[in-house]
Amino acid sequence: MKAIAFLFPGQGSQSVGMGKDVFEEYDVVKERFKAAETITGLPISTLCFEGPMAALTETVNLQPAVTTVNLAFLEILRREGVKPRVSAGHSLGEFSALCAAGVVSEEDTLRMVFRRGELMHREATLHKGAMSAVIGLSIDAVRDLVAQVTEGVVTVANHNAEKQIVITGSPDAVKKAGEMAAAQGGKAIPLKVSGAWHSRLIQGAEAEFRDFLGTVVFHPPESPVIHNVTADRTADPDEIRNLMAAQLCSPVRWYESVLRLMTENVTVFVEVGPGKVLTGLVKKILPKAYPCEIYNVNDMKSLEVFLKAAA
């Protein structure tokens, strides 16, 4: 049987209308959305299906909304008998990966991302932040650049592909690092975000989030999860809880995580949830000679394509 990896997207993959066609098709998806609205008190279905985009993109709304869509597609795949050999998620998406692996319940997954969104929104309001994608430079070159910026805060947020790295921090420091990257032959693209995610500017949320995670039951994984902070797996529930707290202000090691999935002999990569960000990154990261199949499951059509291939 082919080794399947489920990959779950996070912030940046949202779009108005996400999940609508499977919501109309599956009662179990309607149940997932209803449960999410009960847990969060938010109009999740309205945000997902009607927007507006500005409201959907607010992190306090976005985190439970994207997670609800992720979990809806996960439940469909489960009922179709498709299970992952291993899972991973990008930042916010890692919480869905934990659910896929049986580490946490769906209810607790939604509780965690809702609280995470609230805390991150609060810190972003207190500390103005910015993020930029740096294209064309190595991770070592970008680390050297940010280390040279002495005023303000700037650090690596995401190592998304070999030479696609996101930096995060205070606006002037991020701008300065971007200019330095351009001078070295790279390209810096400002991102539309509401905070300096994965930087110490939101560190004020970490202790409270860690305390909140202490109210959640974490189980040993039924299948491995490759974690953002370590680009590795662990079977220890307490260690997983600590990693999810540390993840708030730590870099997302996505490039290394995908390479780690290769060592798990994964041959089928499935992005489960809205958008195509992660499959795009996987195609950039994997060697051209690596034998694999890559799928999105983000609407009825792509779901049918994958289920037919997996049969």
Q: Which of 13, 87, 91, 170 is catalytic?
A: 91
The pLDDT value given to residue 221: 98
| 281 in Cβ contact with 20 (< 8 Å) | no
The pLDDT value given to residue 296: 97
| 32 in Cβ contact with 75 (< 8 Å) | yes
Is 130-190 in CATH node 1.10.240.10? no
| 233 in Cβ contact with 226 (< 8 Å) | yes
The pLDDT value given to residue 23: 98
Q: Which of 90, 127, 198, 227 is catalytic?
A: 198
Question: Strand, coil or helix: what is 52?
Answer: coil
In the chain, domain spans: 4-125+200-310, 130-190
Instruction: Decide if 198 is catalytic.
Output: yes
The pLDDT value given to residue 194: 86
Per-residue pLDDT of the chain (311 residues; tens, 9 = 90+): 789 999 999 999 999 999 999 999 999 999 999 999 999 999 999 999 999 999 999 999 999 999 999 999 999 999 999 999 999 999 999 999 999 999 999 999 999 999 999 999 999 999 999 999 999 999 999 999 999 999 999 999 999 999 999 999 999 999 999 999 999 999 999 998 889 999 999 999 999 999 999 999 999 999 999 999 999 999 999 999 999 999 999 999 999 999 999 999 999 999 999 999 999 999 999 999 999 999 999 999 999 999 999 98
Topology given in CATH for the domain delimited by 4-125+200-310:
Malonyl-Coenzyme A Acyl Carrier Protein; domain 2 (3.40.366)
- CA atoms of 156 and 48, how far apart (whole Å): 30
First to last CA, the chain: 11
The pLDDT value given to residue 311: 86
> What are all long-range contacts of 230-234, with beta carbons under 8 Å and residues at least 24 apart?
231/256, 231/257, 231/259, 231/260, 232/260, 233/86, 233/260
